[in-house]
């Protein structure tokens, strides 16, 4: 192996990121991932060699992966990698292109989707552009590997995958509007007061405790079993869902949502997927606006089981009464679909 995770020699963030990326690629040597990156047909175990950061030349790419394709031909994939600290330049990419032989490609990876405009301006089919968030999403959804999970966590904690280097005009306007109405403070107040005032016992829930909480990209009411664990370690939440990184459930309209989450201990997710009675209930719930993650159709996060949600722009007004109505409607649907006949739900009764 050319790389060694424990001997990353670089301090500069871009070089460090490049080396970590190449280490992850070399350790996994995953054909499908490399097809995703390069858009070409490859042999199994396609990596022939890896070169790390170049130096001393007229053009210094951040690395190079030599691959063998289905026709048994070798070609080089040169890398230009950026963090959120620095943007790409047309001049630099044009210099890199001078290095390429007939079958070689230049893979450009940045956190900014807007960098695609520079690629389009150059208009050369030897350049492949992809964002870090697209790479992260692919890895999370397709490769269940400890090294891959560590790489994704590194990108999250370091912020290298985040599109922090730019804010669009729409985002600026939305932020200004939020500041005008002090949005976060108000939404916190609504859910905190709701957690204090809503009478769950009137719905028959006698064995629960509720707490206001902010974690996992949501803030609101967490509803737990009062004493010992339930059959599936299940718990529910009525939340303002504002950050998708943990749940990895994409917003319906690219804006935060009011959501009722029905979660489960991840070790029980396979068991409940084989529960025919529960599946029958889920099918009815889906007909009434619920979304299921029984077969990971929403997210690979196995703690997430069922959701019922509404984008915040679908509310004419947001206040405690609206959250109360939203919650009441959830329980009406659950009752209508016979959910409370199953222990996943009725253990809270």
Long-range CB pairs of 51-59, under 8 A, 24+ apart, other chains included: 51/2, 52/2, 52/3, 52/18, 52/19, 52/22, 53/10, 53/15, 53/18, 53/19, 58/95, 58/98, 59/92, 59/95, 59/96, 59/98, 59/99
**Most confident region among 80-84, 96-100, 209-213, 228-232 by mean pLDDT:** 96-100
Higher-pLDDT residue of 324 and 157 is: 324
- Decide: 234 and 287 in contact? Cβ < 8 Å: no
CA 36 to CA 31: how far, in whole Å?
9
Strand, coil or helix: what is 187? helix
Residues near 103 by beta carbon (within 8 Å), at least 6 away in sequence: 73, 75
- Decide: 63 and 20 in contact? Cβ < 8 Å: no
At 235, is the pLDDT very low, low, confident or very high (cuts 50, 70, 90)? Answer: confident
Q: Which two tokens stand for residue 247?
A: 């749940």
Q: Please compute the mean of the pLDDT values over residues 138-161 and round it to a whole number.
A: 85
- Decide: 219 and 187 in contact? Cβ < 8 Å: yes
CA 51 to CA 24: how far, in whole Å?
14
> pLDDT at residue 166 above 60?
no
CA 128 to CA 112: how far, in whole Å?
14
The fraction of the chain above a pLDDT of 90, given in percent, is 24
Query: What integer best gives the mean pLDDT of the chain?
Result: 84
CATH (residue range 6-158)? 3.40.1350
Q: What are residue 222's DSSP bridge partners?
A: 211, 237
Higher-pLDDT residue of 58 and 309 is: 309
Higher-pLDDT residue of 241 and 315 is: 241
E strand or H helix at 307, and its extent? strand 304-311
- Around Cβ 176, how many Cβ atoms within 10 Å? 9
> pLDDT at residue 106 above 90?
yes
At 302, is the pLDDT very low, low, confident or very high (cuts 50, 70, 90)? Answer: confident
Tell me the helix, strand and coil percentages in the chain, rounded to 5: 40, 20, 35
CA 45 to CA 37: how far, in whole Å?
15
Q: What are residue 210's DSSP bridge partners?
A: 223
> pLDDT at residue 133 above 60?
yes
E strand or H helix at 148, and its extent? helix 146-158
pTM of the model: 0.54
Chain Cα centroid distance, residue 162? 11
**260-324-278-236 Cα dihedral, nearest 10 degrees:** 50
Q: Please compute the mean of the pLDDT values over residues 81-103 and round it to a whole number.
A: 83
- Decide: 318 and 327 in contact? Cβ < 8 Å: no
């Amino acid at each position: 192996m050319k790389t060694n995770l424990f001997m990353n020699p670089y301090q500069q963030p871009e070089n460090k990121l490049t080396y970590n990326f190449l280490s992850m690629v070399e350790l996994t040597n995953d054909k499908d991932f490399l097809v995703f990156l390069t858009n070409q047909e490859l042999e199994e175990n396609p990596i022939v060699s890896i070169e790390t950061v170049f130096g001393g030349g007229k053009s210094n790419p951040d690395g190079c992966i030599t691959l063998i394709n289905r026709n048994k031909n070798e070609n080089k994939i040169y890398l230009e990698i950026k963090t959120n600290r620095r943007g790409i330049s047309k001049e630099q990419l044009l210099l890199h292109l001078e290095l390429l032989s007939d079958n070689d490609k230049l893979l450009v990876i940045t956190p900014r989707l807007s960098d695609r405009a520079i690629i389009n301006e150059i208009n050369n089919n030897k350049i492949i552009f992809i964002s870090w968030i697209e790479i992260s999403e692919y890895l999370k959804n397709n490769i269940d590997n400890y090294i891959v999970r560590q790489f994704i966590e590194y990108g999250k904690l370091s912020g290298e995958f985040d599109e922090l280097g730019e804010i669009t005009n729409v985002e600026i306007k939305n932020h200004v509007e939020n500041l005008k109405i002090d949005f976060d403070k108000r939404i916190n107040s609504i859910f905190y007061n709701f957690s204090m005032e809503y009478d769950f016992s009137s719905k028959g829930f006698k064995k629960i405790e509720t707490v206001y909480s902010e974690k996992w990209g949501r803030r609101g009411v967490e509803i737990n079993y009062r004493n010992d664990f339930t059959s599936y370690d299940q718990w529910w939440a009525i939340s303002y869902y504002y950050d998708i990184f943990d749940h990895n459930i994409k917003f319906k309209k690219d804006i935060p949502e009011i959501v009722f989450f029905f979660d489960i201990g991840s070790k029980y997710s396979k068991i409940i997927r084989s529960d025919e009675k529960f599946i029958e209930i889920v099918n009815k719930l889906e007909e009434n606006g619920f979304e299921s993650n029984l077969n990971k159709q929403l997210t690979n996060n196995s703690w997430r089981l069922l959701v019922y949600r509404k984008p915040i722009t679908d509310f004419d007004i947001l206040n405690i009464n609206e959250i109360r109505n939203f919650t009441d409607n959830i329980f009406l649907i659950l009752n209508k679909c016979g959910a409370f006949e199953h222990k996943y739900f009725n253990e809270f009764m």
